[in-house]
Every structure is written in structure tokens, then in C-alpha cells.
Amino acid sequence: AQSVAQPEDQVNVAEGNPLTVKCTYSVSGNPYLFWYVQYPNRGLQFLLKYITGDNLVKGSYGFEAEFNKSQTSFHLKKPSALVSDSALYFCAVRDISTDKLIFGTGTRLQVFP
Amino acid sequence: GAVVSQHPSWVICKSGTSVKIECRSLDFQATTMFWYRQFPKQSLMLMATSNEGSKATYEQGVEKDKFLINHASLTLSTLTVTSAHPEDSSFYICSAIIRGRLPYTDTQYFGPGTRLTVL
């Protein structure tokens, strides 16, 4: 069965510092991995995805994620955090046979000025 | 591109009434849409998969007679919460798939959500 894990409920970082939001996956076959961000009382916004190719994926708003097959991880990163990045971040893996996305439990990112 | 809208954005209703939520793909055709439910500070729970022109596929534990889903066109899916009760109060989010050149390049885009409060 496909699954993703987000081990941190919350990540705190000072504005201007680099940020990392962790995600590990467990899949049978090739992983199709996604990151979404959710602002309060809003739906999810697509940030980036890994399908194949380069292990470093660049996405929206300056975010990037590094696919690491040996560590089965897909951590979300940004070189310099902004207060406006404070939100709930979800990692997800796509089950290609059903089109379903399997979500992690989410990580709340808090960026302090 | 890739805009998914939902209407209404919030609704308050009395217990026992039915509420319809619309999900539209504004700039693309979506043969497949999904309906999720999200409780406070929790992840999304998939309720059902909606395919245009066919019956929805419900996840285990979701009452199909309570949560009626209709996907009448390539740009519109509706979720009707029938005989709503306070425990149905939640944040409901829909999504739609943009089909890529190959199946594994598909991306799911989400609507802004509908907050339902049942009194």
C-alpha cells in the first residue's frame, strides 16, 4: 500500500532562514510525489511534484523538493523563509491505478519575523 | 490556468435540511473529480471519486445515500449533503485532475473549500 509520513506536526523557523519540511514515502513501484500548501480556510494549492528525472524539483513560490530514493524521502525546502510561508503543508503520493492521492498528516510551518 | 471553484464558500443550515455544494473546473475539462472532507487540524479524508457520466465511487464508511454526488458535465460536480446533522459540519474540498500526456503526469487541483455548519 502507498503511504507518506510527515514526522513533524509543526516546524518553526525564523524569517530569512532556510526551511525544511520532511516527508518520507512507502510505495510499491515508482513514486509519484506531490507537495501542497493550505492557508487557513482555503483549499490546497499545488506546489510541486516529482514524477521522474532530476531529483531536485523546483516549484511555486521559491519552494523546491529533493527526491532521495535511498532514503525514501521527498523533503520540501526553501532557501529563505518568509512570514507569508506560514501555512499547513501536505505531502502526498499518487496511486496511479486509482488516481487517488494519499496524504500525509500535514506539517504546520510557522515563520517568525 | 488550472482553476477549480466551489460554491458556496460557506453555508449555515438547520438540522434536517439538504445542502448542495458545487465544484467547477473553470479552464479545463475534468473527467474525474474528488470530494474530500477535512476536520479541524486534520488531514484530508477522501469521500468519493466522481467520474463524468457515471456513478461516483465512495470510500469505505461514507454513506452514499447521505452524500449524493452528481457529475453531470465535464466541468461540474455537485455534492449534496442530505438531511444534514451537526456531525456533518466540516470543511468540504473538491479537486479535479488535469490529464497529462502520460497518466503519471496527471496533477490534481483543489477548490477553495466549503465550510458547512449545521445547527
pLDDT band at B53 (very low <50, low <70, confident <90, very high): confident
pLDDT band at B2 (very low <50, low <70, confident <90, very high): confident
Q: Using an 8 Å CB-CB cutoff, list chain A residues near B91.
A: 41
* Mutation to test the B interface, candidates A57, A96, A99, A102, most B Cβ within 10 Å: A99
Q: Note the pLDDT tens digit of each residue in B83-114.
A: 999 999 999 999 998 777 666 668 889 999 99
Q: Pick A53 or B15 by higher pLDDT.
A: B15
Phi first, then psi: what are they for B82, rounded to 5°? -90, 145
Q: Using an 8 Å CB-CB cutoff, list chain A residues near B48.
A: none
Q: Note the pLDDT tens digit of each residue in A51-101.
A: 888 899 999 999 999 999 999 999 999 999 999 999 999 999 988 788 889
* pLDDT at residue number B103: 63
% of chain A exceeding 90 in pLDDT:
77
Please give, rounded to a whole number of angstroms, the shortest distance from the CA of B69 to a CA of chain A. 17
Q: Using an 8 Å CB-CB cutoff, list chain B residues near A59.
A: none
Sequence-distant (6+) residues with CB within 8 A of B88 are: B66, B81, B116, B118
